[in-house]
């Protein structure tokens, strides 16, 4: 009869009877035959259904059976068969009253934590089925070497009952290793042979053995079986296998790993190594994400906190430029602005206006007329024209008169009106408030943009700049206003630079400051100017170009300091540096020279330029020639200060300083024209440098009023035949005026004489 067709009591009764009949030799022979046949030598069967559970995802099963001393029949059989080979494990149990019994497996139930975990776990084979042909390997760890024989014997037999939800998470299947599963096999053979007394005796002995093992071993087993690490390990390995396969895992109705599924220990080792590698990768990714989160989250909090504090203190920025200004990063903005390559050979033209009726001797040097210069710049305009001016009155209607000399101004106004039809954008920044808007209104009607810049509340001054920027390639700077009188009734000096993009772009940034202020209704200055207005040239970093083929170092200066952007040289500093640089002579032509403040309630003494000229003439023996204007708006106090300078050339000081007064002649009709018939030039030329500006030389023009200066140094440059430096040209113009009949040495009468010409206009 097949042992599997009997119940436990009947089968063991038969075994005991056979053992009494057989001799010791036959038992040995049978043991040898069973061993050779690949079967265990023990004739006592075990509860295979309770021992047939095995984890398929790790190699812990092979290491969970601790080695026994040599000579142990059970260990020898385990080594011969191998736990992972799938052979049936038979073990000899202690004898209770001359009988051998098998220990049943205590029932232990492990509850899953969530349906998500179970749904992931059900996709693998976490537990082997209860088949007689499958070997059993428990989940728990290997027994320690100090464990007793009885503990090591019973420990592998204990299996927890696993409660696993099915994949659809709607039904739950309990795989239990309780005696109920065993009884289902036994009950199928109850009709053939039954021995109730033997079963009861076996159960009693089992209870006594479990009682003797003690609560300590039982708690240890329960803790090991209920260890969350086992459950988590199973779930992680299930997920790892699913990711590795990238295919849905089919769950067989009987989640059993047959003997053929585990071919060799090598395959089990390979599977385990892959799973371990995937687990390590998952763990590494988890640690990486944790590290990134650890670094990223505090940084985000700091940024949010800092930005919140910034908004609380400074308000919400209106633009990127505004934000950069608030963060004091305005100087960075200029780095990404597109810059055109600077032309290697620029063309510079000195220009002037000679009032009608003022004639020089034949053969005297002269410069290009300002009207011609401006018309030439407008004709070359292709995209943009930007003009900064004190005011704009190109027609004689501003004074209610009709003067023939105003025709040049009217022609210029017509050319400005035609720019829009040619696709040229015209921008004009003028001082505010304007008393006469007729011309600007007409230009606005033709498409021009006009902004009035009110510096009264910002610096207390005005916009006195006279600057043109055309296509970011050509420019003009000088003393001439956008006034018809500046073309025919006032003596002016300026300079135009053509095909010189690098210098013109720098001038465009100065204009941009005025344009920015004009766009604000409240006319306030930012705490820092944006980087797009930063200087491209300065006294420390001049531009290196060629003017008419002669190498030159050039830079632009501006005033007042409040409007000087990052890197911009202040206009006053530029003048003082030119004076200090002179070795042989300093020639100055300026309308007003007054070492005090003007247009202020309280008069302030301002000796900056005056002291520099005194030092140059008296200490360094540099020749200083100062040419000032005499007209109806001259201040009587100016001539008193000028006398204090001219007296220095007397014995014993003998300072090399001289002062002359320049007067433009006029007819009675010309005398009726207001703000005309005056030498309005503002320039300085030395043996080394040329300075051409827009400001008169008194305190207010450098501390409150907006102005621009151009400094050109061509000292040491090689001059070819037919070429000449800017310094040489302007020196000749000054000497022409200095030696003309229109210039007279300063006398005591000039203070009274010039002021008598003043009249209400």
- Residues with catalytic function: 464, 466, 471, 680, 682, 687
Q: Encoding tokens for residue 649?
A: 């050339």
- Do residues 535 and 569 touch, judged by C-beta distance below 8 A? yes
Are residues 19 and 43 in contact, defined by beta-carbon separation less than 8 angstroms? yes
Q: Which residues pair with 430 in a beta bridge?
A: 389, 452
The partner residues of 476 in beta bridges, in order of sequence, read 468, 496
3-state secondary structure of 693: strand
* DSSP secondary structure letter of residue 247: S
- Alpha-carbon distance of 340 to 445, in angstroms, equals 32
Instruction: Report yes or no: 101 and 219 within 8 Å, Cβ to Cβ.
Output: no
Q: What percentage of the chain's residues is helix, strand, coil (to nearest 5)?
A: 40, 15, 40
Q: What are φ and ψ of residue 563, in 5° steps? A: -100, 0
Dig out the tokens for 626 from the structure: 């100062």
The length of the chain is: 761
Q: Which residues contact 34 (CB under 8 A, 6 or more apart)?
A: 40, 41
| φ, ψ at 714 (rounded to 5°) | -120, 25
The helix (run of H) or strand (run of E) holding residue 554 is strand 550-559
Name the nearest CA neighbour of 238 among 206, 209, 271, 212.
271
List the structure tokens of 645.
């300078």
Alpha helix segments (H runs only) across 421-500: 438-445, 485-488
H or E element that contains 16: helix 8-21
For residues 143 and 147, give the distance between their C-alpha atoms in angstroms, rounded to a whole number: 6
Cα–Cα nearest to 743, from 370, 481, 478, 360: 360
Q: Inter-axis angle of helices 215-225 and 196-213, to 10 degrees? A: 90
Question: What is the Cα–Cα distance from 384 to 559, expressed in whole angstroms?
Answer: 25
Number of alpha carbons in the 13 Å side-chain half-sphere of residue 620: 17
Q: Is 44 exposed, middle or buried (0-12, 13-18, 19+ CB in 10 A)?
A: middle
And the tokens for 427?
């921008």
- H helices then E strands: how many in the chain? 25, 25
Contacts for 507 with CB less than 8 Å, ≥ 6 apart: 467, 469, 475, 477, 556, 708
Tokens matching residue 658: 């001289």
């Amino acid at each position: 009869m097949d042992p599997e067709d009997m119940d436990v009591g009947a089968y063991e009764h038969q075994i005991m009877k056979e053992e009494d009949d057989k001799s010791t030799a036959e038992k040995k022979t049978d043991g040898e035959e069973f061993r050779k046949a690949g079967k265990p030598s023990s004739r006592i069967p075990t509860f295979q259904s309770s021992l047939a559970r095995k984890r398929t995802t790790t190699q812990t099963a092979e290491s969970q059976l601790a080695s026994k001393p040599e000579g142990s029949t059970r260990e020898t059989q385990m080594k011969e068969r191998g736990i992972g080979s799938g052979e049936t494990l038979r073990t000899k149990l202690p004898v209770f009253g001359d009988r051998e019994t098998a220990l049943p497996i205590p029932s232990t139930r492990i509850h899953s934590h969530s349906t998500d975990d179970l749904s992931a776990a059900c996709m693998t084979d976490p537990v082997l089925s209860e088949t007689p042909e499958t070997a059993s390997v428990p989940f728990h760890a290997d027994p320690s070497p100090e464990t007793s024989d009885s503990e090591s014997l019973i420990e592998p037999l204990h299996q927890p009952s696993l409660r696993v939800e099915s994949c659809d998470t709607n039904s739950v299947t309990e795989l239990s290793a309780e005696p109920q599963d065993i009884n289902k096999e036994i009950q199928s053979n109850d009709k053939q042979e039954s021995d109730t007394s033997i079963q009861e005796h076996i159960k009693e002995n089992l209870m006594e053995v479990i009682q003797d093992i003690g609560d300590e071993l039982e708690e240890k087993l329960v803790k090991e079986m209920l260890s969350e690490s086992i459950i988590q390990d199973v779930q992680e390995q299930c997920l790892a296998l699913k990711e590795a396969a990238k295919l849905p895992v089919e769950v067989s109705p009987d989640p059993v790993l047959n003997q053929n599924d585990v071919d060799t220990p090598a395959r089990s080792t390979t599977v385990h190594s892959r799973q371990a590698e995937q687990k390590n990768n998952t763990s590494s990714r988890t640690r990486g994400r944790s590290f990134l989160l650890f670094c990223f989250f505090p940084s985000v909090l700091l940024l949010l906190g800092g930005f919140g504090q910034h908004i609380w203190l400074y308000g919400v920025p209106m633009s990127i430029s505004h934000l950069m200004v608030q963060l004091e990063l305005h100087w960075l903005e200029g780095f990404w602005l597109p810059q055109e390559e600077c032309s290697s050979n620029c063309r510079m033209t000195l220009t002037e206006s000679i009032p009608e009726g003022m004639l020089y001797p034949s053969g005297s040097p002269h410069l290009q007329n300002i009207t011609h210069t401006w018309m030439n710049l407008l004709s070359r305009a292709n995209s943009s024209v930007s003009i900064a001016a004190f005011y704009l009155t190109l027609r004689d209607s501003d004074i209610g008169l009709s003067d023939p000399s105003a025709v040049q101004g009217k022609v210029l106004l017509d050319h400005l009106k035609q720019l829009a039809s040619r696709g040229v954008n015209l921008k004009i920044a003028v001082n505010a408030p304007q008393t006469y808007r007729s011309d600007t209104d007409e230009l606005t009607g033709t498409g021009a943009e006009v902004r009035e810049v009110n510096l009264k509340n910002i610096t207390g001054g005005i916009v006195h700049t006279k600057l043109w920027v055309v296509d970011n390639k050509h420019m003009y700077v000088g003393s001439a206003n956008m006034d018809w009188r500046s073309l025919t009734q006032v003596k002016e000096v300026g300079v135009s630079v053509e095909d010189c993009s690098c210098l013109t772009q720098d001038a465009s940034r100065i204009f941009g400051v005025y344009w920015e202020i004009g766009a604000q209704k409240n006319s306030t200055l930012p705490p820092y100017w944006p980087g797009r207005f930063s200087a491209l040239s300065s006294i420390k970093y001049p531009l290196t170009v060629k003017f008419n083929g002669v190498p030159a170092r050039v830079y632009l200066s501006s005033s007042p300091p409040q409007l000087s952007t990052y890197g911009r040289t202040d206009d006053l500093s530029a003048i003082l540096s030119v004076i200090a640089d002179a070795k042989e002579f300093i020639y100055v032509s300026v309308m007003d020279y007054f070492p005090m403040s003007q247009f202020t309630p309280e008069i302030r003494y301002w000796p900056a330029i005056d002291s520099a000229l005194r030092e140059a003439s008296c200490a360094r023996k540099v020749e200083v020639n100062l040419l000032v204007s005499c007209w109806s708006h001259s201040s009587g106090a100016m001539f008193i200060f000028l006398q204090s300078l001219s007296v220095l050339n007397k014995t014993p000081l003998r300072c090399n300083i001289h002062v002359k007064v320049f007067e433009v002649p006029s007819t009675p009709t010309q005398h009726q024209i207001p703000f005309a018939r005056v030498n309005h030039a503002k320039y300085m030329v030395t043996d080394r440098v040329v300075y051409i500006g827009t400001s008169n030389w008194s305190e207010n023009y450098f501390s409150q009023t907006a102005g621009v200066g151009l400094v050109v140094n061509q000292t040491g440059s090689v001059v070819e035949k037919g070429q000449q430096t800017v310094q040489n040209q302007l020196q000749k113009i000054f000497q022409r005026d200095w030696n003309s009949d229109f210039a007279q040495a300063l006398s005591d009468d000039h203070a009274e004489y010039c002021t008598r010409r003043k009249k209400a206009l």
